[in-house]
Amino acid sequence: MVEDARPANESAPPRAAVGFLRGLSGKLLLLTIVFVMLAEVLIFVPSVANMRIRWLEDRLNTVAAAAVVVDGLQNIELPRAVQRETLMATGTKAIVIRRKDASRMIATVDMPPAIDGEYDIANFTALGAIRDAFDTLLFGGKRVMRVYGPLGESDATIELVMKDGSLRNAMLVYSRNVFLLSIVISLITAALIFLAINRMLIVPIKRLTASMQEFSDEPSSPERVLVPPKGGDELAVAGQHLASMQRELQKTLKQQKSLAELGLAVSKINHDMRNILSSAQLISDRLSDVDDPVVKRFAPTLLRTIDRAVGYTQEVLSYGRTAEAEPRRRFVALRPLVQDVGELLAVDRQSGIEFDVQIRDDIMVDADGEQLFRVVHNICRNAVQALTNHQPEDGRPRMISVSAVRTGSVVTISIEDTGPGMPAKARENLFTAFRGSARSGGTGLGLAIARELVLAHGGTIALVEKPTPGTLFRIELPDRPVRLDAFRAKGRS
């Protein structure tokens, strides 16, 4: 019984054993690495530009030291060999010192090359420096640049012309180092973050998931209930809630199991009882033939009592089939169905109750014919029971009228009687099984079953207030929604 209450296997959630990279921890690790690398790139851009400026400054300073010495020798022309050595040592093509009044060429190669770019070390913008740095990195190596900056503290400028090859090489080495360092840093950071989050989040989450799985595998076993985690963080609270939910569920399951067992026992007893009553019914039928006046007086009462008992067991049995079968819906003509109900209840003029059917022949209901019959039968039988032994005060006939209209895709069925109306006691628990009955010998199942069947059709049933005495039930039954693909397939074939 308990197994029945659990959801079918296809709706079971997937197990938590997923691949590392699809699990939370794997994703987390990858994301951390990516984010740290991204941060490193953001840091790299300005830092490589800065490195280039520093490198050029260094070079200018080195050259300046030599140049100042040479400059101090006043107007002595440097021999060619010395010039070349000076230039070679600093990797430059030409060195010039400019003062306000005059400039002096300290050294130069024989054929000064054409200049590809000029850079002022003392005046630059951040964006300009970044742009120049990437320009050198991407396209440099073979170009000639002129670089100038202040000569120490003096107001003179030192200027040199050089190839950018060695600058670019230095920048490449720097970039490679930064890259390697980034990898190391991101790995370390990722590992640290991973460990921290794994401990704080993933492990508790995994414990929760595992507990849910174990519990759903065997919900009735008490040792499968999660031991509530201590602590006050969100996951601990979730764990505590889960544990109490599992305990509650276990209690409900236990109750349900005993209820189901009880129900089974009742329906077995009921079934046998019905057979016994049926034989009693058969035998007592013969009593009517006996001539004894005492027997003649009591026989009808006895018969009625047994009839009622049979009806009682019948209803309980049909309710005991707890879940009604899915309605097998097709379009059924409503009028003959209602007339059949009238015949089964044997209401006709002779019985003193009028059965009036106001339904056009062409009204079709999209419903399970057998179930709809039971709905109408249950309601009409109640009406018959209410009308028997009741005489409407205002002289109206004792009458049950059933009418129906179709509005678009909904059929509305109204079942009305001129009886005494719904007693307050029945109103309180209307449509509630075993509670709604307000007459002796009633089970309170008829309306509950009717409602269950109507709901299974996606419809509604309600007791409607009306101005005249009596009872009015209204049932609304919608057609099934049309499945577009099925409709098209039908059209094609």
Ligand X SMILES: Nc1ncnc2c1ncn2[C@@H]1O[C@H](COP(=O)(O)OP(=O)(O)O)[C@@H](O)[C@H]1O
Residue number, 291 or 393, with CB nearest to ligand X: 393
CB of 386 to ligand X, least distance (A): 3
Element (H, E) at 103: strand 103-108
CB contact at 8 A, 209 and 86: no
Which partner from the list ligand X, Mg ion, none does 426 bind, CB cut-off 5 to 8 Å by kind? Answer: ligand X
Please tell me the distance from the alpha carbon of residue 296 to that of residue 37, in angstroms, as a whole number. 103
> Which window, 114-122, 132-140, 150-158, 433-441, contacts ligand X (CB under 6 A)?
433-441
Which tokens hold the place of 335? Answer: 């009028």
Q: Which phi and psi (to 5°) does residue 357 adopt?
A: -110, 110
CB of residue 426 vs Mg ion: minimum separation in angstroms? Answer: 10
Considering only 7-15, 116-124, 243-251, 443-451, which stretch makes contact with Mg ion by CB under 5 A?
Answer: 443-451
DSSP 440: T
d(CA 124, CA 134): 15
Q: Does 128 bind ligand X (CB under 6 A)?
A: no
| Binding of ligand X by 488 (CB under 6 A) | no
Closer residue to ligand X, CB minimum distance, 452 or 479: 452
CA–CA dist 334, 228 (Å, integer): 58
Binding span for ligand X by CB under 6 A among 115-123, 185-193, 352-360, 378-386? 378-386
Name which of 239 and 446 has its Cβ closer to ligand X: 446
Q: Which stretch binds ligand X (CB under 6 A): 167-175, 190-198, 298-306, 435-443?
A: 435-443
Residue count at the site for ligand X (CB under 6 A)?
Answer: 23
Residue 437 touching ligand X (CB under 6 A):
yes
Identity at 49, one-letter amino acid code? A
Phi first, then psi: what are they for 462, rounded to 5°? Answer: -150, 150
The Cα–Cα gap between 335 and 312 comes to 28
Q: Which is nearer to ligand X, 353 or 386 (CB)?
A: 386
Tell me if residue 205 falls in helix, strand or coil.
helix
Q: Which amino acid is at 51?
A: M
Stretch that binds ligand X, among 203-211, 337-345, 359-367, 442-450 (CB under 6 A): 442-450
Among ligand X, Mg ion, none, what binds residue 136 when CB lies within 5 to 8 Å by partner kind?
Answer: none
Residue 446 interacts with Mg ion (CB under 5 A): yes or no = yes
- Considering only residues 371 through 410, tell me which ones interact with Mg ion, judged by CB under 5 A: 382
Residue 401 region, left (φ>0) first, then alpha (ψ -120 to 50), else beta? beta
Residue 436 contacts Mg ion per CB under 5 A: no
CB closer to Mg ion out of 446 and 459: 446
Beta pairing, strands 92-98 & 117-120 = unpaired
Q: How far is the CB of 362 from Mg ion (least distance, A)?
A: 31
Query: How many degrees, rounded to 5, is the angle at CA 337 between CA 334 and CA 341?
Result: 135
Task: Report yes or no: 220 and 254 within 8 Å, Cβ to Cβ.
Answer: yes
Smallest gap from residue 439 Cβ to Mg ion (A): 8
Give min distance, CB of 358 to ligand X, in A. 17
Strand 471-478, strand 410-417: pairing: antiparallel
Alpha carbon of residue 387 to chain centroid? 53
> Residue 160 corresponds to which tokens in the numbers above?
């040199």
Q: Cα–Cα distance between 93 and 84 in angstroms, integer?
A: 9
95 contacts which partner out of ligand X, Mg ion, none, CB within 5 to 8 A by kind? none
For 462, the token pair is 């309600």
**Residue 342 contacts ligand X per CB under 6 A:** no
- Point out which span in 2-10, 156-164, 257-265, 379-387 binds ligand X (CB under 6 A): 379-387
Residue 469 or 478 with smaller CB distance to ligand X: 469
Q: Which is nearer to ligand X, 110 or 393 (CB)?
A: 393
443 binds ligand X (CB under 6 A): yes
User: Can you tell me which of 422, 453, 454, 475 binds ligand X, judged by CB under 6 A?
Assistant: 422
Q: Residues 36, 160, 338, 447: which binds ligand X (CB under 6 A)? A: 447
Burial class of residue 394 in the structure, from the number of CB atoms within 10 Å of its CB (0-12 exposed, 13-18 middle, 19+ buried)? exposed
Q: CA nearest 62: which of 158, 173, 171, 172? A: 158
Strand pairing partners for 413? 404, 475
By CB under 5 A, the count of residues binding Mg ion is: 2
Burial class, 320, CB count within 10 angstroms (exposed 0-12 / middle 13-18 / buried 19+):
middle
Contact partner, 161, from Mg ion, ligand X, none, Cβ < 5-8 Å per class: none
Residues lying near ligand X in the complex (CB under 6 A) are found at: 378, 382-383, 386, 417, 419-423, 426, 436-439, 442-448, 471
Residues lying near Mg ion in the complex (CB under 5 A) are found at: 382, 446
